Amino acid sequence: MDEYSKTNDINIHYLIHSDKQPGILLMHGLTGNAHAFDGLVEAGLSSQHQLISVDLRGRGLSDKPSKGYSISTHASDIISLLDELGIEKIHLGGHSFGAFLGLYLAKHYPDRVDKLLMLDAAARLHPDTKEMLVPAMGRLGQRFPSFEAYLEKIKNAPYLDFWDDAMLSYYQADIQTFKDGSVSPRSLPENMAEAATAVLSEPWLAYLLDVSHDTLLINATGVYSLGAALLPKEMALETVEMMQNCHYVEVSGNHQTMLYGEGAKQTVKAIHTFLAS
């Protein structure tokens, strides 16, 4: 179900899947959107928990101010949304950038977070992460003659080694369509560059050591780009060891495809088991 909320002086779009309680709020990756978790929903995530999935500012159908992409501002948006929804505490986390945002919220708003879910994010990522993200970031600011042309480029990306129909809604939500039928990603490169710089500037190591919430780190060790995983297992395990109460689960797929197919099934199983414990 599509919903909108006026939070932190901007309109935030979010999706609600099912009315089951307790709830989970998940936040997508750097250039993603609220449909990033549709594959997890298809795999049964919302069968036991209500899932709220947010378009972070500058993405999807949320407002896109020209400035204001610090981690603290993103966090204020989420807290404002929880206030608007009357939610005092919730299972919280996300994928990639969204996982870092969840960690920030657990550090700075500990009473609002029940359990923490970190999907493929850790204190250290592959040393070539910036180069590995070039194919995903490179689509921003481009105009494609049609959605079909855009989708063809996506399907040829190095990180997409299989296609799942649950991916379609995510890529449909990624673009805006012009009168001539051409399309362009909704997220603006300058806004995403500001968000990327902001996430790199936070003292994540200090946050990891300070967060005491029961945490689940789900790690996809398949090849993402340049012949390697974006988050190698040994680096994920470093973060698990540093945190006070963190559990580790390895799943199939890579940084992107873990959200679909067999990786999604394994991820959903891990989340259900963790939240039930």
Give the tens place of pLDDT for each residue, 180-210: 999 999 999 999 999 999 999 999 999 999 9
- CA neighbours within 13 Å on the CB side: how many for 93? 22
Q: Tell whether 20 is covered by a domain.
A: yes
| Phi, psi (rounded to 5 degrees) for 13 | -95, 140
- Is residue 83 classed as helix, strand or coil in its secondary structure? helix
Distance between CA 68 and CA 71 in Å, rounded?
9
Domain total in the chain: 1
- The CATH number linked to 256 is 3.40.50.1820
Its domain, for residue 53, covers: 2-126+189-276
Distance between CA 222 and CA 257 in Å, rounded?
9
Q: Tell whether 202 is covered by a domain.
A: yes
- Helix, strand, coil distribution of the chain in percent, nearest 5: 40, 20, 40
Q: What is the largest CA-CA distance in the chain?
A: 54
pTM: 0.97
Q: Tell whether 6 is covered by a domain.
A: yes
Q: Tell whether 143 is covered by a domain.
A: no
Report the mean per-residue pLDDT for the chain: 96
Q: Tell whether 160 is covered by a domain.
A: no
Those residues of the chain that have pLDDT short of 50 are none
Q: Tell whether 145 is covered by a domain.
A: no
Q: Tell whether 159 is covered by a domain.
A: no
Q: Tell whether 33 is covered by a domain.
A: yes
Cis omega (within 30 of 0) on the bond before 110? no
